[in-house]
A = this chain, B = another copy of it.
Amino acid sequence: MNKKDNILIIGAGLCGSLLALRLAQRGYKVELFESRPDLRTNDISAGRSINLALSDRGFKALRLAGVEDKAREICIPMHGRLIHDAKENTFASNYSGRQGEYINSISRGDLNGILLTEAEKHENVTIHFNKKCISVDIEETVVRFKDYKTKEEFSVNGDVIFGTDGAGSVLRKSYYLERKFLFSYSQNYLTHGYKELEIPADALGNHQISKDHLHIWPRGEYMLIALPNLDGSFTVTLFLSYDEGEYNFNNLTTEKRITEFFEKEFPDALKLIPSIKDEFFNNPTGALGTVKCSPWFYKGNTVLMGDAAHAIVPFYGQGMNASFEDVTVFDTILDKHEGNWEAVFKEYQLVRKEDTDAIADLAIDNYYEMRDHVANPLFKQKRMLEMSLEENFPKEYFSKYSMVTFNENISYSEAMKKGRAQDKALLNMVAHNDLNSVSNLKEVLRKVQEETNEILEEDKIAGL
């Protein structure tokens, strides 16, 4: 490959800006285009999650690009879930029984800003803001843009085009519409949407509830979560059906109804959200969708990455981490096939797709687990048992959550396969009281491992 190849990256979000930085470090000439203004000098958070959970897969990619430390500086560690019941009781549930395993609340905008600033330090990177991609000619590798300020349209010719333009990717749409190849594509929405609200800092600028936890108010049909921000506030997200159940987005249309709903279901949260009415009516209701597609690339010309290739629901806290991990994986494959973009793209998809499919499915699983199971006695018992196993056998036992979140060297697909079998083994052992007669934890570990392997073996024989 010619390092003078002109690389166009569409979308300077988290994935696009990390990718630009990394490709610049490898010596490529990169032009990065973003439809919105520079978020470092403009407030453009409306409608997007303003904080996110960063964990080990994300850190690994940031480390590769030399920006891990800068990111860590703006992280707020969250060691577990703090579950709030409808009677205002809380109980904590750690993410891991091991020391030093936690997830981090981080501002999307601040992290994106760090990545843009680092990328810009490279002479071979040019960033163009306010340039909205309108269409892509994948055969001729020409991208059509519209300038938001001048309203003028113009075309840019590249040698290779990366579409990191998010869940609504224009590059992906061109794959679908141009029909140059059989394009497998799915967009699947949950029946629930989401809305962001805010718990402000107290008068002294401090957090009003524990900042060391991700807060959850699970109510089966509804769910509220809250993640801390550095300024003492929390971003609260309400997950609610559009049109089902007693309370839903379609029928919560008056302040009275909203207050009634929160008083009944989330009384402790209500007291902490002073502007609930304004926020409820002014903030947009977002959809929760999963996007999968294949192929991700066209010849050696174009490739999709990040949400553009695999948008997922937020319930595993892995969206950003998965997109960052794309860059790690891509970088490894570049080492192998540098000089032949088509070979790079082909192997990248071959290696990566089963993992992004897996995290998409795991995120859906967690939607149900968080809504329904967190408050379920069987799941609670299982979770407590897992904590003891991790505490006592830190090198031998890893829960599904730990494998996904804290073990960046286990692939998502491996974590899903093993984690699901292990969950099934544990839940059945707990349900059947199989462990009551077992006196020591070492024996419990052995039984869980044995049962897990048996489940994996049986699935394999059945061709699953």
Contact = CB atoms under 8 A, between A and B. Distances in A.
Interface in A339-397: 368-369, 373, 378
A96 B287 CA distance: 47
B186 A462 contact: no
B187 A463 contact: no
A368 B184 contact: no
A186 B186 CA distance: 4
Contact of A185 (B187, B242, B368): B187
Contact of A461 (B184, B369, B427, B464): B427
A441 interface: no
A183 B292 CA distance: 15
B189 A463 contact: no
A420 B463 CA distance: 11
A428 B184 CA distance: 34
A182 interface: yes
Given A423-B462, A458-B424, A463-B373, A188 B189 contact: no
A329 interface: no
Nearest to A182: B189
Nearest to A288: B182
A187 B189 contact: no
A124 to B, nearest CB: 35
A368 B188 CA distance: 25
A438 interface: no
A183 B189 CA distance: 7
Contacts of A289: 182, 184
Nearest to A187: B185
Given A462-B424, A464-B424, A184 B187 contact: yes
A44 interface: no
A156 interface: no
Contact of A428 (B186, B242, B373, B458): B458
B463 A368 contact: yes
A462 B458 CA distance: 16
Interface of A: 182-189, 242, 287, 289, 292, 368-369, 373, 378, 420, 423-424, 427-428, 431, 458-459, 461-464
A-B complex: 7 closest residue pairs judged by Cβ atoms: A186-B186, A424-B462, A182-B189, A184-B188, A431-B461, A184-B189, A427-B462
Given A184-B188, A186-B186, A369-B463, 15 more contacts: A182-B242, A182-B289, A183-B189, A184-B289, A185-B185, A185-B186, A185-B188, A186-B188, A186-B292, A424-B461, A427-B461, A428-B458, A428-B461, A428-B462, A431-B461
30 contacts: A182-B189, A182-B289, A183-B187, A184-B186, A184-B187, A184-B188, A184-B289, A185-B185, A185-B186, A185-B187, A186-B186, A186-B187, A186-B188, A186-B292, A368-B463, A369-B463, A378-B461, A420-B462, A423-B462, A424-B458, A424-B459, A424-B461, A424-B462, A427-B461, A427-B462, A427-B463, A428-B458, A428-B461, A428-B462, A431-B461
